[in-house]
Structure 1
Amino acid sequence: MTTADQAPAPATCGWMDAWLTAFETAAADPVMLLTGERLLDRADIGQVHINPGTAQATLTMPNAARPHQPCLTIGPLPSPEWERVYQAIAATGEHADVIAAGRLPDALSDPANADVIRIAPAPGDITFTCSCRPDPGICPHTAAVGYRVAQHVRANPGVLLTLRGGSIKELRTMLRESTSTATESAAVPEHARTGIDARLAFGRLSPRPTRPRPARAHTTPTSLLDGLRSDPPAPGPTAHSMRLLTRNAAARASEILAGGPHPAGDDPVQDAARLLADPAHRAHLEHAAEQLGLSTLQMRDLALAHEYGGAAGVEVALWPLAADAEVLAHAEAAIQPHRPARLASLVSQDNQLTDAAARIQLRLGSDGLWYPFTDWHGTWRPAPGPSGDPAAAYKAARRTLRAR
């Protein structure tokens, strides 16, 4: 068994681009891909295990009850196909020194060589499975693993050979045997040689300049008429969904024109939490959670976080943030008189102050406000009442607990 954390080789872009092209085409879901990219920095992704035909890892979301087990399955090349690939590469002799050093030249990833060397998978060779969903399909967790594989392929293209059932070791062996045969052939008199020069037969494998990866297309949303009544053909959104989207877009535009905050980037999780904070959209909560790879409870809590604190409230609900030690110390002193059990431990970590005995946690947001959370059957649920005064936020959390 091998892992993606083998000895590194010099960086390459050609093989990484070949992998990304196949992986993103197979995913065919820009929202999932974008969410997966963002998870690379926000989630705990364990070691990616690369074996013939599979790339799998353990991924832990912040505040999640249990980790996810995403896996990418890649159709391997059959042994006869690998023999043909090895022989085609070895026959040129162009890349012997590079491959002998454990590298895979970018020139071999050129699409013009695909009929001879087809190492990179086609989109149809890739399938996605994850413990977050019962059926195969792309999700944020498998998308994150796909992008992590791209990072490993960039550092060590031999990873791609392993995924496809090949071996850089076998390729090097084939090259050594080919070099030895060529040396023996050189000792044969010119008049005794027959056949065609291998360099001419496989001239198409000569190095080519690396082609830049085309920029991703950006689409401009089209407005929808609120008066639409008939549903478009499946699998398009229903007329009801289109009316909700139109109404939401109009409301957001009015807020911005009135001097309100601009949307928080193109984060689908933030956008879903904002939409679901509106009671008119709550019927779509389960579907949104499924599409984003979250549990229904997590999606409901994020909607509450946006209802109570907007985008900054969702941010502190999702991820730990950095915080100044002096600010945390001041907050500890401010809430101490209001704690029901003052001698109980008070844990300070990242931007969070946790009073486990009182079932209260405060989180400092990037906007300088303290956001209250209360213990709800083992998870921290957002509570109303964020404040710049940590004591006021703490008292808001206590009011929420008394109201239950």
Structure 2
Amino acid sequence: MEQSALPPVTLAELDQLATRASTVIARLRDRLYAPGHEKQLELRFNVRRAAEMVGRSDKLIRDAEADGRLPEPEKDPETGRRTGYSLTDVNRMRSVFGTLPYRADSDPAMVLAVQNFKGGVGKSTMVCHLAQYLALKGYRVCVIDCDSQASTTSMFGLNPDVDVDEEEDTLYPFFRHGGPSDLSFALRATYWPNIALIPANLGLYDAEYEFAARMARDQAFVLDRLRYGIETIKDRFDVILLDPPPALGMLSLSVLRAAEALVIPAPPNNIDFGSTAHFLKMLGATLNELARAGGERDYAFVKILATKMNDTKSAHVAIKRMMDAVFPMDMIQAVIKDSAEIDNATANLATVYELTGAATRTDTHKRCRAYLDAVGREIEILIRKTWPSHHAALRKEGLL
């Protein structure tokens, strides 16, 4: 038999490839996670912007500072000018003026999954930007990273290989037999006020094996463990965002059982939209199987979000038009556009919302921020519609 003209690739050579790849990753992490440089939120807001965020006039803010209800603003020691307000300062103002947007205790916290079984559709990007949009509005947010690739964990400033221990910091211990009964052990504060994180790392992938081994003898435990865990922390948050792995595995099934609403990111190109169509078909079949195994689960809403939209590509425009026609009541009207602004921020493990300085004054940034805000606003309204305590305000705003 004639031999191949190419030499075989041995296991030793594959090991060398993995070692070289690890070296590159280590160099990138050394740059992005410099020792002693914990990620911080550098956003500052002038009094006019703070007043807009709080929903009160800048005069009322100054009056509250004058009469002691609010602390005196920080000032530059050389110029004597205000240095601006942090998000923590803005939330303190909201508390004083009674404009924090929290749900009432009688309203259920919203558990929202950004779910698609295909990778590369903008899932983690959406989770991070939505979490930060809601935090800027004053909501209490928890982000649960269920993906062992840990992209969301990295975006929130943690090195998954160094800062996260799968035996103590991720969901993994909670899924093990005899593990903790409450998810509080894994909650971590982030540099964003009002955002807590349950991080992930590669070790979380072992939960798939734990689940598979336990599925035959304890199906209910496997399917609903995450949902029960979320119940132990729900009272602390308004919104809990789930970032599942891009695959149909046990963790993804757990997310589907735990979620109370779904946002499905779908780029408008033939391959990704085709995959999303298959995802929707699989979703229906999977949920029917899960219903037979552990009881039916309803969702408050299921919405499809067009991501990575490029208006200059005729194929994108045509497929988006088709999506709107096929799913007239199911599409989020706003879209996430294909933007160098998002790509450049993500390359530095940041989001568009945390950029500061001259970068935020460009037209490109303003456009990108506008469509991210539009998506966030639309999802925020959907969430508020699930809270009876917000219905009167929504009617007043003409949104209900």
Normalising by structure 1, we get a TM-score of 0.24
Q: Of the two structures, which has the highest relative contact order with CA contacts closer than 8 Å and spacing of 6 or more?
A: 2
Q: Which has the larger radius of gyration?
A: 1
